[in-house]
Chain A
Amino acid sequence: MPHLPSGPARVHARGWGWRHAGRKAFAVSGVDLDIAPGERVLLLGASGAGKSTLLHALAGVLGAAEEGEEQGELTVDGVPAPAARGRAGLVLQDPDGQIAMARVGDEVAFGCENLAVPRDEIWPRVHRALDDVGLDVPIDRSTAALSGGQKQRLALACILAMAPGLVLLDEPTANLDPEGVEEVREAVRRSVDRTGATLVVVEHRVSVWAELVDRVVVLSGEGGLLADGSPERVLGDADVRRRLAAAGVWVPGWHPLTGELTPSALRDTSSQDDDPQAELLSAQGLAVGRSPKTPPVVGGIDLVLRAGRAASVTGPNGAGKSTLALTLAGLLPAVGGRLEALPALARGAGTSPHRWRSSELVSRIGTVFQEPEHQFLTPRVLDELEFGPRRVARRPEKEVRALVDGLLERLRLERLAEANPFTLSGGEKRRLSVATMLATDPSLLVLDEPTFGQDALTWAELVRLLAELLEQGTSLLAVTHDEDFTNALSDTVYRVDGGRAARVEAVA
């Protein structure tokens, strides 16, 4: 190795705070923090406590004076973070959002080039970094052809090649399936073990990182720190646990529905009645694909969705789970086999959901997409909720008002009725996207990864709401990797893998 890492970095903060331009309140304030070289820190805090802001500040990308106001001091190795160019490397949450180059090798080399590393040194560094993260693909592989877990390991390799003294990870596993989470965590472990770099991770799924870090720091929403110490001490303290849980952090051993008690299924899923009246949608030998011209992604699917019942669809990324869900939801045409809306669902609208008019579709099947922003249509929360019942289903005005007021209250959105949907927090956006679908009262609700990246409070709220809907006779189909979600709600589980979909055992 011609160029060795220049050693782990030290972080020092005194009375540090940051206010984004255009905001009244400080995102972070009064932070006193010293991180010794080589320490591994898990940074926790409620949504909006400023964890990402602190991380971006350490990476030196918060921006200049016109982008906000800074208080106190924050240094990396004794110099202000923006001046410590190349000392810190940052990995962000969205696997697609941080790749700049077309090929794996060029992507890893990019940071070295920017730091003016001589050409002869770049390629050994690239191979070393790819090796560290265990990404065993040809260096001319297209970056677009990687899985989510591979992309995040690539992002990690990119910063490792720059030999940073400080590795900063901003929820690097929030969008990944369980295998991807495991891959990325092990890659982080291997690389910080080798380089000895200082590590700061932000993540609200604590259990993923708890055994890899040696210190847990909890940011308080009101400024300063709420707790700071070893994982055992911080996560073992009953008071801190309670406060973390109340802030929406996924505390190990604390279930969002039952707290310290062992979780039980939220509903009785044991009775398997076969009441034909309750059958809504049936698939026989169904084949699904993104386009009728390409070969089907999944074939030979047999399933029945029933009123008041929940089904989960699981399986590895890219297996075709979303394609299946979108086909069942009437958004993609079936590419083979039979998909039939039964009388209880069709209510006179024809048997093929894909052929329904929009006004027929929204009052029968609602689909909640993974990214809430994709479904926002208007600049105001209230308009967003009124859109379906008023403009698509054309309900009487009085009915629209009653429906929307009910939803605002039930999903705790009253305070936000006038807000722009794009400015809401992640949890609020999720609640709103579900609410917009409920506004037209569909009999079947299809959800694509509804709990990805959500904090424990939003999770519990969502699960309780969906349980109520099931109680009222709505049918649910959720594409999800989230076992807690499936355990709490689902009657049946289908696993999609290798082009087939098979029913696995009903969840106890």
Chain B
Amino acid sequence: MSVDILTPELANSVLTRANPVAKLAAALCITITLLLSVDWVSASVALACELFMLPLLGVRAGTFLRRTWPLAAAAAVAAYSTALLGAKIGPVWLQLGPAVFTEHSVLTGVAIGLRGLAVALPGVFLLFSTDPTDLADGLAQKLRLPARFVLGALAGMRLVGLLVDEWRTLGLARRARGVGSGHSPIARFKAFLGQAFALLVQAIRRATRLAIAMEARGFGGIVDGRPAPRTWARESSYSRLDAWVIVTGAGVAALSVGAAVVLGTWNVVWG
């Protein structure tokens, strides 16, 4: 069974019903704003708002944690390494041999960790509530991105699912030939490279065949030197809900900047 990244089972939530383009805009609002400054206030405010809105996703807490723990782990690692390696300013809070943690380095670490989570969560919201086909419809119909590009990328994503299966089969097929069970790391690495190359060959063949099949169905046609006109079976439309989604995204961004400016922690990275 192939890995089905293109037809995820989405919870029937408010966010699932919103237009993907609106969700994308809201997520970008928050993400870009948070990338402007490294301080713990704006990050915490944004993160708090995001966590507060988690129920809107309609995903069970267990499922959510199971699928996002790598993000939390990455944020924790980033926070720890910043605290360990950051500039040693202010009172020393903890010293273990050569490892020194000062007030400044620990607070910067916390800010980095929170920021990482706050920046990643809007993406998680988008991922958990969006069908890739709807996103493609939105990008092409609402943002007027070229259909050739958007649908090509969508079809490419389908191939990724097939290639996951193909990778497994290749592994077994090559083991049958006596490849890939060497015990030295070098032998394993060589076997991995060989298998990766074989997958690349198969990927190109599949892509070529798929391109022919799509062309045979009129895709990418040129009429009078311009892309042939195309209709869309499903209309990507905005509703009042989408206005709310964008207002919420902008609101979260404004609130976190406002709080940081008022508390005097706003600190633009290139300033």
Chain A residues proximal to chain B, CB less than 8 Å: 56, 59-61, 85-86, 88-90, 92, 94, 96-103, 105-106, 109-119, 122-123, 126, 142-145, 155, 158-159, 162, 290, 326, 329, 331-332, 357-359, 361-362, 366-367, 369, 371, 373-377, 387-388, 391-393, 422, 436-437, 440
Contacts and interface: CB of A to CB of B under 8 A. Distances in A.
Contact of B133 (A102, A369, A422): A102
Nearest to A159: B217
Contact of B169 (A113, A362, A369): A369
A103 B181 contact: no
A114 B216 CA distance: 10
5 contacts: A102-B154, A358-B181, A358-B182, A366-B176, A388-B178
Given A103-B7, A357-B181, A375-B174, A116 B210 contact: no
A377 B179 contact: yes
Contacts of A94: 209
Contacts of B132: 102
Q: Which 6 A-B pairs have the closest CB atoms?
A: A392-B178, A102-B6, A98-B213, A114-B218, A109-B233, A358-B178
Contacts of B151: 100
Contacts, number: 168
A61 B233 contact: no
A96 B162 CA distance: 8
Given A114-B228, A144-B7, A359 B217 contact: no
A146 to B, nearest CB: 11
A367 B171 CA distance: 13
A375 B177 contact: yes
A135 B224 CA distance: 37
A103 B136 CA distance: 13
B176 A115 contact: no
A89 B217 contact: yes
Interface residues of B, number: 52
Contact of B213 (A97, A109, A145, A374): A97
Given A97-B206, A142-B7, A158 B217 contact: yes
A56 B198 CA distance: 27
Contact of A119 (B162, B214, B231): B231
B177 to A, nearest CB: 6
B51 to A, nearest CB: 31
A402 B179 CA distance: 23
A114 B158 contact: no
B229 interface: yes
B141 to A, nearest CB: 11
Contact of A112 (B131, B231, B235): B231
A349 to B, nearest CB: 14
B176 A97 contact: no
Given A96-B162, A144-B2, A375 B230 contact: no
Interface string B145-184: 0000001001100100110000011101111111111100
Q: Which of A96, A126, A159, A290 has the most CB of B within 10 A?
A: A96
Interface of B: 1-2, 4, 6-7, 131-133, 151, 154-155, 158, 161-162, 168-170, 172-182, 194, 198, 201-202, 206, 209-210, 212-219, 221, 228-235
A122 B231 contact: yes
A290 B165 CA distance: 11
B147 to A, nearest CB: 9
Given A331-B175, A374-B170, A114 B221 contact: yes
A94 B217 CA distance: 16
Contacts of B131: 102
B233 A102 contact: no
A100 B2 contact: no
A359 B187 CA distance: 14
A332 B1 CA distance: 16
B177 A388 contact: yes
B133 A106 contact: yes
Contacts of A89: 216-217
B173 A85 contact: no
B177 A114 contact: no
Given A106-B133, A116-B231, A119-B233, A101 B217 contact: no
B219 A114 contact: yes
Contact of A85 (B182, B218, B232, B235): B218
B188 to A, nearest CB: 12
Contacts of B228: 85, 114, 116
A449 to B, nearest CB: 13
Contacts of B4: 142, 144-145
Given A101-B158, A116-B230, A326 B172 contact: yes
A56 to B, nearest CB: 7
Given A377-B177, A387-B178, 19 more contacts: A61-B212, A61-B216, A92-B212, A101-B155, A102-B158, A106-B133, A106-B234, A109-B233, A116-B230, A116-B231, A122-B231, A144-B6, A144-B158, A158-B217, A159-B216, A361-B175, A373-B202, A374-B173, A374-B202
B158 A113 contact: no
Nearest to B3: A144
A96 B229 CA distance: 28
A137 to B, nearest CB: 13
B166 to A, nearest CB: 8
A436 B209 CA distance: 27
Nearest to A117: B231
B203 to A, nearest CB: 12
Contacts of B182: 358
Contacts of B233: 105-106, 109, 112-113, 119, 122-123, 126
B209 A98 contact: yes
Q: Which of A86, A100, A361, A376 has the most CB of B within 10 A?
A: A100
Contact of A113 (B172, B201, B232): B232
Given A115-B218, A388-B177, A98 B133 contact: no
A376 B176 CA distance: 11
